[in-house]
Amino acid sequence: MDRWAPVLSGLELKTGSRGRFEISIDGEEVFSKARLDRFPERGEIVKILEPKLGSPPEWRPTHR
């Protein structure tokens, strides 16, 4: 998610029960462990979010 940090207005993490793992964007569920009976594969969430958020902007954090 840090790839989109400059354009995200917020990120919310909620605690849950029964090992729930769900990702929503603008109220739309885009991934549900309960529905798919698995955790996402490496890079899967980025593939889901990129069409909705657009390509991550090119940026470099400043280091001091």
Domain boundaries, the chain: 2-53
How confident is the model over 1-28, as pLDDT tens digits? 677 777 777 777 777 777 788 888 888 8
What distance in Å separates the CA atoms of residue 32 and residue 29, rounded to the nearest whole number?
A: 7
pTM, rounded to two decimals: 0.68
DSSP 4: G
Residue 41: pLDDT over 80: yes
Encode burial over 1-19: b for 16+ CB neighbours within 10 A, e otherwise.
Answer: eebbeeeeeeeeeeeeeee
Looking at residues 34-56, what average pLDDT do you find? 88
